Amino acid sequence: MCEYTTRLPEIAPRPGLRPPPCPQCRRAVVQRTHRRGLFERVGSLFWLYPFRCQRCGHRFRAKQRGVRYVRTLL
């Protein structure tokens, strides 16, 4: 039997690009989260993205100049 797998294209991060540290606990264990509201949608046009710390759960916004996030369906 033949199995088909769908692979999403892998996007390699630029050299030296690290996620912003959490302003509350200072750890760099953060993930970009979904945008809430008009302010965050407009902010993403200016590279201002929402992040959530995986350690303490703090949600914050940080600027990542030159980075565009594309929605992927899993």
pLDDT score, position 10? 44
Q: What is the pLDDT along the chain (74 residues), one digit of tens a residue?
A: 555 555 544 444 455 567 889 999 998 889 888 889 999 899 888 888 899 999 999 999 998 877 766 666 66
Q: Which helix (H) or strand (E) holds 49?
A: strand 48-53
Report yes or no on whether pTM surpasses 0.75.
Answer: no
Distances (CA, A) of 21 to 5, 24, 27, 58, 59: 35, 9, 5, 11, 11
Q: What is the DSSP letter of 20?
A: P
pLDDT score, position 44? 84
Q: Are 33 and 51 in contact (CB under 8 A)?
A: yes
Q: What is the DSSP letter of 55?
A: T
